[in-house]
Amino acid sequence: MSHPAGLPPSPPDLSVTLGRLRLPNPVLVASGTFGYGREMAGMVDLKRLGGIVPKTITQLPRKGNVPWRTVETSSGLLNSIGLDNDGVDSFLAKQLPWLLGCGAPVIVSIAGATLDDFVELARRLDDVPGIAALELNISCPNVSHGVDLGNDPGMCQRVVAGVRAATALPVLAKLTPNVTDIVAVARGAQDGGADAVTVINTCQGIAVDWRRRRPLLGNVIGGLSGPAIKPIALRCVHQIRRAVDIPIVGVGGIMTIDDCMEFFVTGASAVQIGTANFAEPVASARLLDELPAAIAELGAASLREIIGTLQLPAALAACQLSTASPAHHAT
Amino acid sequence: MASDTSETICHTDSAHHVRARIVSHDQVAEATWRIRIDCPEIAAQAVPGQFAMLRIPDRTDPLLARPLAVYDTFSDGVGIRYADFIYLVHGRFTTALSAARPGDELTAWGPLGNGFWLPPAEHLVLVAGGIGQTALFALARERLGKARYGLPHRDPPAARQVTFCWGARHAGMFADVKDFRGAGCDVHLATLDGSKGTKGTVVDLLDTRFAGGIDAATTRIACCGPEPMMAAVSRWAHARGVPCAVSLETPMACGIGICFTCVARIRDADGGWDYRRTCVEGPIFDAECVEW
């Protein structure tokens, strides 16, 4: 511990820098798992949060997918909501004003089917005062085309570059794990000028009622979240951290303070709490309460000191830098 | 599409997230359990038709909470402190919950949802299918002047008569019918196999009970059960011009409006429909507004 004996430890510095975006602390809430913030005001002191990423918006209203929209699976939640939202005009008029007054940085999540959709939305939001950053949802597995932009490193780069040209706001690119090489897509985001990458969106899956011989989700295929995907998310953070220079926002199955710390040590500069908000609406506030002690346990005076400090076996360290696929390594 | 959250009453503003001790937990019918939890913050505020999310804490499987209608609330002699829930064991959560014992703790958040607020009715007809009675019992007690709910207590118009029509698969599925009789309801049962009451569906039961007609001007229906059953009761009510409120039982992941799982097709003023979250805009809807 760095504090003099006999004096209480000073709280660790929790501030986070994600490219041009500065946040007071690393505990954010993930898009699609916190409504528009307003719904959670009775559960969480919103101004404590490092950032709120409200539900993804699109240019035009979308009704969303046919129920059932979620199914619980083993330690996980399979969803296919389908970007149900009222469109950017309604968001700006009815949701954002309240959200901007809640005291937490607001990172607006946007999605579109084409590069032009993203650019147009970014341009629209560029002159709205108070927005902290944009998160590009190029990775929603539940809408047509949504996953395509995030599947291809070149397309990812073009979308990020297009958005960068259209807005002065910091830009986070949210990546899908449903690709062969997520590192290549992360490089595309970096080359396009992203301030950070958000890693990961949901993992595609289905759930089946064998007695009725039917899929359980109305949209058949959905995205898996929750504790079941944490190892996948950590693997993606690990690989990207070692290959890309821009900061990483880790997301995927975080329920406990141990989960948060695993992401920080592996290489995430901040985390997003997602499915845990459903299972425990006060989770984000609880994790903020628990974070200082966990950082102190590592003898650190700031969060910054512990990010990406994962120690690898020497023999594997060099090898893992050279490839995206863990399948190449002996197990 | 989402609704206007800004214009939606945010029930989470007055909801509480608590650790709640299980006070009692008993099997009351086939695959049906009644659980009482110690949750004064939730119980004191709850009004008929509202629900709470219950979760088995500190484990990831089952991961999520489930919405359960507040069946009734009870005092410890000082104030309202306990809430009862009755549930059917039919999935991973309810199977796990049925193994919990008195003294164990759950996490709970609520009360949630809009609850019933029916205009005055001389004759209130409650129609339940399966486990749907759980959303209706407190309403029966309230309208018959047997209990008061909410903080401060709300004071709804009393009903002169409450008829309770309940349909189930077979006789073994009826749980605590005595509660409804004790509250003063006129109770009528139906079973699909004829093992108790009228043989047939609850709509067959309505046909029998109201064979002599129903006074649309003085009667209101409140209904809860499986969706096809509620659709059928809505059609029955519509055909007779009787106002009908339904408590939708769509699956929920959060109960507080953040996940957009629990949507139902609700009619717009312009004749179209939109997906609305039953947790924050319902679960009680005018049956005429539901696109079945």
- Per residue in B203-248, pLDDT (tens digit) is 999 999 999 999 999 999 999 999 999 999 999 999 999 999 999 9
Residues B185 and B182: their CA atoms lie apart, in Å, by: 7
Q: Average pLDDT over chain B, rounded to whole?
A: 95
Residues B187 and B181: their CA atoms lie apart, in Å, by: 6
* Residue B223 and residue B129 share a domain: yes
Catalytic residues of A: 140
A282·B17 Cβ contact <8 A? yes
Kindly indicate the confidence band of residue A330, based on its pLDDT and cuts at 50, 70 and 90.
Answer: very low
* Residue B129 structure tokens: 């299918």
Strands (E), B100-202: 105-112, 123-129, 161-168, 186-191, 198-199
Reference A126, options A162, A152, A173, A72; nearest CA is A162
Is the pLDDT reported for residue B73 higher than 90?
yes
Q: Average pLDDT over chain A, rounded to whole?
A: 93
H or E segment to which residue A203 belongs: strand A203-205
Which residue reads 């997602």 in tokens?
A: A274
pLDDT of residue A188: 98
* Residue B128 and residue B74 share a domain: no
Q: Say which residues have a Cβ less than 8 Å from residue B94's Cβ, sequence separation at least 6.
A: B66, B87, B88
What CATH number did the domain enclosing B132 receive? 3.40.50.80
Minimum mean pLDDT range among A1-10, A15-24, A156-165, A196-205: A1-10
* Residue B73 and residue B141 share a domain: no
In this complex, the residue of B7, B63, B263 whose CB is nearest that of residue A77 is B63
What CATH number did the domain enclosing B48 receive? 2.40.30.10
Residues linked to residue A171 through DSSP beta bridges, in sequence order: A134
Kindly indicate the confidence band of residue B9, based on its pLDDT and cuts at 50, 70 and 90.
Answer: low
N- to C-terminal Cα separation, chain A: 36
Kindly indicate the confidence band of residue A6, based on its pLDDT and cuts at 50, 70 and 90.
Answer: low
Q: What is the ipTM metric for this complex?
A: 0.96
pLDDT of residue A41: 96
Give residue B4's identity as a one-letter amino acid code: D
DSSP A106-170: BEEEE--SSHHHHHHHHHHHHT-TT--EEEEE---TTSTTHHHHHH-HHHHHHHHHHHHHH-SS-
- A interface with B, Cβ–Cβ < 8 A, is 32-36, 38-43, 55, 61-64, 67-70, 72, 74-77, 79, 81, 84-86, 90, 94-95, 98, 226-227, 255, 275, 277-282
Q: Is B4 within a domain? A: no
The structural domain count of chain B equals 2
Cβ of A316: how many Cβ atoms within 10 Å? 12
3-state secondary structure of A96: helix
Q: Is B3 within a domain? A: no
Please, is B241 exposed, middle or buried when counting C-beta atoms within 10 Å of its C-beta (0-12, 13-18, 19+)?
A: exposed
Q: Is B5 within a domain? A: no
Range of the domain at B244: 123-289
Residue ranges and CATH numbers for the domains of chain A are 16-64+81-203+225-321 (3.20.20.70)
* Residue B145 and residue B248 share a domain: yes
Give residue B270's identity as a one-letter amino acid code: D
Q: Is B1 within a domain? A: no
- B interface with A, Cβ–Cβ < 8 A, is 1-2, 4-7, 10, 12-15, 17, 55, 60-65, 92-93, 107, 109, 250-251, 253-254, 256-261, 263-264, 274-275, 280
* Integer CA distances (angstroms), B171 to B98, B127, B200, B224, in order: 21, 17, 12, 19
* Residue B161 and residue B214 share a domain: yes
b/e code A139-164 from CB counts within 10 Å (16+ = b): bbbbbeebbebbbbbebbbbbbbbbb
Is the pLDDT reported for residue A317 higher than 80?
no
Q: Say which residues have a Cβ less than 8 Å from residue A97's Cβ, sequence separation at least 6.
A: none
pLDDT tens figures, A41-76: 999 999 999 999 999 999 999 999 999 999 999 999
Which residue of B10, B16, B63 is the best one to mutate when testing the A interface, meaning the one whose CB has the most A CBs within 10 A? Answer: B63
